[in-house]
A and B are shown apart, each in its own frame.
Chain A
């Protein structure tokens, strides 16, 4: 009897492996040939304002129940679709479902014409116009400003440098402030190592490949792990779709405007001015202590791009009485994407937003 059972279970496991091998072969060919690329950034949206390469998007939401609207400031070196990865795994989708009116500032892909963009170009020129356009479009007098990674740095500098900015709340996710704790990424451009102008290409920008390579240096075996994960789960269509989307996130960077990068290296990395409170932009002092709006600083314990020690001090640097750190056991990507994000980070952010927003008496339809 038991011999029969073990023979049946052996047969079924062989059968399962054969089935999986067939699926692996099919998906492997599709993946290698680049067919069935993950479709990302699918939430419907309109471009409501644009200037040069910068665009302000407004996402459709049939049921907006909260005010003020949220304006998300994207990082300068990543594509904005990473926050709207795929249905069911999207920060934007989560905010829309929670009843938020969501805007996104997308910086576009810099070329020669943008190589002279400085931090001031983004913080003093584009952001005030984009936020003002969002207010006008939503009929609001203030917004909740949210920044991810370098986008968080821009958001912080904008609010600190513009006391008149129509910002009611500030949400920062994985935002580096202490650059002495940034690890190898900052280590390479410290004084006496690589001069920033040496990494600029003919367009005057840091090429996207160089950014990708710096991220790859941190974890030299990350690619192997990814391939092992892929091999193990290649038979699983759903896994493959998620893998392609995450892979795209990891490898798809945009060039970094040369002038902004040189400024970032000298002011933030080499002189660590945000921590020292000596930051200057456009000839004026920008002190984080002048930020007095409520601040939520979301930090990841296992973040190896913006380590905890680099992001955590932000809540103490701002002048707000209502400033809190939300520390989560996740990595840089896992903060906003994946199952853990859906389970922990996103509900926590929405909960904070609920407590710092007004509930509309009647739900509004966007657009």
Chain B
């Protein structure tokens, strides 16, 4: 037999369903998803513009900006990826499955 629901729970559940159900069907609609996508695009555009402006200001004083750091980090990670790919290729060719047993 299911335990009896408290009065608080009965009120809460009916309130939650009356609000939750329309919200859940709302998020499935194209209108909601288009609007959310527009907000996210706008947010990204504003952020990009702010970064450009702050970058221009920092470059005036010959200082590195966020975009420079990002570019550098991107280059390092690409290089890292190439090293990993080469090392994976080597491991595959030698079928060398390093087995460093470590207790966790």
Contact = CB atoms under 8 A, between A and B. Distances in A.
Contacts, number: 105
B29 to A, nearest CB: 9
Given A184-B33, A228-B9, A45 B77 contact: no
B58 to A, nearest CB: 16
A183 B80 CA distance: 36
Nearest to A118: B81
Contacts of B91: 51, 129
A225 B44 contact: no
Interface in B79-104: 80-81, 84-85, 88, 91-92, 95, 97-104
Contacts of B76: 112
Given A51-B88, A204-B77, A228-B12, A187 B33 contact: yes
Interface in A183-202: 183-184, 187-188, 190, 193-194, 198-199, 202
Interface residues of A, number: 45
Interface stretch (A4-12, A131-139, A149-157, A280-288): A131-139
B67 to A, nearest CB: 10
Contacts of A47: 100-102, 104
Interface residues of B, number: 41
Contacts of A50: 98, 100
Contacts of B36: 188, 217
16 contacts: A48-B100, A51-B98, A112-B74, A112-B76, A113-B80, A125-B85, A125-B92, A129-B91, A133-B97, A133-B99, A188-B36, A198-B41, A202-B73, A204-B77, A220-B27, A228-B12
